[in-house]
Amino acid sequence: MNRYRLFVAMIPLFLSMLILQCTSPDSTPDETRIPVTFALDTVVSFDGVPWSLEWLPGGDLLIADRNGKLLRYDGTTMHEIGGLPEVRSKGQGGLLDLQLHPDYANNGWLYFSYSKADMTGDSSNTAIARAKIQDDQLVQMEELFWAMPHATTSHHFGSRIEFDKDGYLYFTVGERGNWDNAQTLENHSGKVHRLYDDGRIPEDNPFVNTPGAQPSIWSYGHRNPQGMLFHPLTGKLWENEHGPMGGDELNIVEKGKNYGWPRITYGINYDSTVISPDSVMAGMEQPVLFWRPSIAPSGLAFVTSAKYPQWNGDALVGSLRFRYLKRVDLEGDAVAGQEELFSNIGRVREVKEAPDGFIYFTVDEGKVFRITPVYETM
């Protein structure tokens, strides 16, 4: 056999080897492979404080800048959306959370929380509004809620927004630095609230028929909840909140329950004095997890995407104080372990699993990051 005939005879073998190589484990889809590590991609950076993220159906990214700007990033250019109400950007206040209505594709409602000042400009509290976006302007704006009492302090606004599977609107309001607010049902501060999507009070809220109570209250005894999310599998409402010096909490929030602040706490005051001698009390809920020392938690996500198989079912919590992302290994509702991710990346404010399956988070230093799986190469 001459060389030409030998070459022709070997062609089927070469083709079979090529097919085998193309179908080897190295080239299987990412969803069936295990990442060896995770990298960070900077999605966008700007001069502002990205407090929250939301994605429009076309893929554009909405960013709430705490300084009082609503931004739309189309992948190349940042656009400012006009028509916001007057936002009191001071201290921890400003433009805060964003949330699309579950039926946004049909009704176009964008919900947002912000700190709203009273007529004097000296006092403020958390407000919830909704509007529609048209040509980079907010239109048909409606204020649904404004927390009382107003306070001259500039911290503890809470402000996370979530919808449940039935379309009810939930949101948090911090106790504004006044501890007594959290334990009384007569005002809105230090609470999780529940409304219909148009701001009406649901008839089955727990304190609708309680004399003197605010009918929007769902739970109380909270300090400053800056992370809240319904678990995508169990449907339970989880939230994280800032403690004082020690005593940050991760909770499962239930209807009508009292979460204890300040009558029970695992922390002490910033001057090292005792806030309460008790960490357990009858009629008050215990956290799933508390942090001591405080990590200053903000933002909360549950990992469901196949892009992160090692983290599936775990919670991700931002740490403002220690400047990392905290992974909480969950087995059901119990904590099996914790891990610190991306140390010294910045004051992590928002954490979210996006429609594209990637996890994004923001830092107060003006950056939005995407966590990208890295696979072993042969």
| Active-site residue set | 156
Length of the chain: 378
| Cα separation, 228 vs 232, whole angstroms | 12
Q: Is 83 exposed, middle or buried (0-12, 13-18, 19+ CB in 10 A)?
A: middle
Q: Residue 89 to residues 111, 121, 162, 224: CA-CA distances in angstroms?
A: 18, 11, 23, 18
Around Cβ 173, how many Cβ atoms within 10 Å? 32
- Residue 158 neighbours by CB distance under 10 Å: 32
d(CA 352, CA 367): 14
Give the DSSP H/E element, type plus range, for residue 96: strand 95-100
Q: Ramachandran region of residue 274, left (φ > 0), alpha (ψ -120 to 50) or beta?
A: beta
- Is the Cβ–Cβ distance between 95 and 70 less than 8 Å? yes
The region that residue 366 occupies, defined by phi over 0 for left and psi between -120 and 50 for alpha, beta otherwise, is: left
Rounded Cα distance, 285 and 308, in Å: 32
Residue type at position 70: L
In the block, residue with structure tokens 């509290």: 125
CB 130 within 8 A of CB 67: no
How many Cα neighbours within 13 Å face the side chain of 124? 26
User: Would you tell me how many other CB atoms lie within 10 Å of the CB of residue 16?
Assistant: 10
Nearest to 53 by CA among 63, 45, 44: 63
